[in-house]
A = this chain, B = another copy of it.
């Protein structure tokens, strides 16, 4: 059997063989193209059942298109799907879509609308009890380790800074790349590890979750809907939506969550946060004004 050039797409493949395709093939292709994602997941029998044709026809279609057999065809579909990025809503596609929509009432207004809509949705997805759980764990923690990757790293950095100013021993592990083993040396059951993940979790996140579990430390996680689950499962998880309406890259929603947690923390830690903040302010005012 002749082999399929890895670059050729399903479209070109179909148009090249358009004349050779039969009525049954069309029925199959109709079903197949209607939901390529599903087609990539199912096997030949399921597809042909859905198309109302015999499984043998699926095999013959694959062969007519130049594949060795149905499995080879399915593999091709999968490759097209994951690489070709059918993967619903790519970053650039979403940005483009947004550019179009931004017409009405100006760009900034549209961004603001989106952020507000995302915040409104947050109200429905997270409860005060979720916030309280997080602040309780932080309050009890001996030390707090924070880790995020990519955009989430900006957030973990911010949280580390604010927790430090509130008198907590917080460490942003992203700031200690390359010396992470050193930083994590003393990870103990009394410690809390707080993970931030907004897409597929980076290996470092999973490794840290693993390590934390093995050391019996408490694991908190703040993720979005797009994020794949973290394993081992965190002890406490807040999952927010950064979706559709909002600017997908924005950290507005997760930032609102951490703001609420840090604020709640100040309410339950018997003045520890407030005292530390006050002390920090005083200390800072004594320094020459150009110090951090």
Contacts and interface: CB of A to CB of B under 8 A. Distances in A.
Interface in A87-139: 87-88, 90-92, 94-99, 101-102, 104, 106-109, 111-112, 115-116, 119-120, 122-124, 126-128, 131
Interface in A244-292: 244, 247, 249-252, 255-257, 259-260, 262-264, 266-267, 273-275, 277-278, 280-282, 285-286, 289-292
B108 A290 contact: no
Q: Is the interface of A mostly helix, strand, loop or mixed?
A: helix
Size category of the A interface is: 35 or more
Contact of A292 (B120, B149, B256): B149
A261 to B, nearest CB: 9
A52 interface: no
Given A34-B206, A203-B290, A14 B251 contact: no
- Oligomer: number of copies: 2
A208 interface: no
Contacts of A228: 33-36
A185 B249 CA distance: 31
Contacts of A206: 30, 33-34, 290
Contacts of A158: 151, 154, 251
Given A98-B263, A251-B255, A150 B161 contact: yes
